[in-house]
Amino acid sequence: MTMAKSPILAGLAALVALCLIGEALVLSGQVSPLVLARPSQVVLAIVELIREEGLTQAFLATFALTLAAGATATAIGIPAGFLLYRFRSFGRAYESWLAALFASPLVLLYPLFLVILGRSYWTIFVMGTITGAIPIILNTRIGLVSVPRPLVNVGVSFNCSGTQQFFKVLFPAAVPDIFTGIRLGLIYALVNIIGIEFLINFGGLGRVVSEMYDRFEIPGMYAGIVFIVLVSASVFAVLARLERRIRPV
């Protein structure tokens, strides 16, 4: 019990120490309050934003959008990655294209989707799904290609159908790589969702941060950032629980 709690306690202690240092730096005038908000003011801003600005609803909107985009990206990415594994020539042909897209700042395409879908949650969702699907496709193909050939031959020797071969042999062996891709996909989806909410001033937490920034309410801006971190932690907690259920060992 003590061993399990010690990393959490160490993290909380480090967080408290950083807050105290930040508070002291701002109070002493070493750091401008326009650059860093005092942690005590951030706490008060959180209470104010929950009461006046709908911070809780913004948190839920961004959280739901991230989960929806991540789930859709996974539903697209795993079958697409399997197809690139199944048809090897296509996999070799398009892997470099996908890698180039993965490295590209796709968030810059948001004006195109604004024209097509309007200033709506659909624009945010579609952009999050596209950016999230690419690493899932790549890592699914990598995981399937990396399955040892003797393991595949075991499935063949038991006369497994294509579906049985995938679900009983290929997918379980490729789960670590696939979940690595899902983690990356969720990171990219969340970053793009927050970024587009900020840029178009619409949606959840990105909108809150944008409004606080425009109004020079620095504590409120940092309060929004704190909730963005909470969204990220919540999404990855859901993913960790799902991975334990699929791969209990």
What tens digit of pLDDT does each residue of 188-213 get?
999 999 999 998 888 889 999 999 98
Q: pLDDT band for 185, please (50, 70, 90 cuts).
A: very high
What tens digit of pLDDT does each residue of 84-124 get?
988 888 888 888 888 888 888 888 888 888 999 888 899 99
Highest CATH level, class, for 49-246: mainly alpha
Give the domain ranges of the chain. Answer: 49-246
Question: What is the 3-state secondary structure of the chain?
Answer: CHHHHHHHHHHHHHHHHHHHHHHHHHHCCCCCCCCCCCHHHHHHHHHHHHHHCCHHHHHHHHHHHHHHHHHHHHHHHHHHHHHHHHCHHHHHHHHHHHHHHHCCCHHHHHHHHHHHHCCCHHHHHHHHHHHHHHHHHHHHHHHHHCCCHHHHHHHHHCCCCHHHHHHHHHHHHHHHHHHHHHHHHHHHHHHHHHHHHHHHCCCCHHHHHHHHHHCCCHHHHHHHHHHHHHHHHHHHHHHHHHHHHHCCC
Q: Phi-psi category of 216—alpha, beta or left, where left has phi over 0 and alpha has psi -120 to 50?
A: left
pTM of the entire predicted model: 0.85
Which distant-in-sequence residues (6+ apart) come within 8 Å of 170 by Cβ? 144, 147, 152, 155
Return the pLDDT at 5.
61
Chain-centroid distance of CA 175 in Å reads 18
What tens digit of pLDDT does each residue of 52-91 get?
888 889 999 999 999 999 999 999 999 999 999 888 888 8
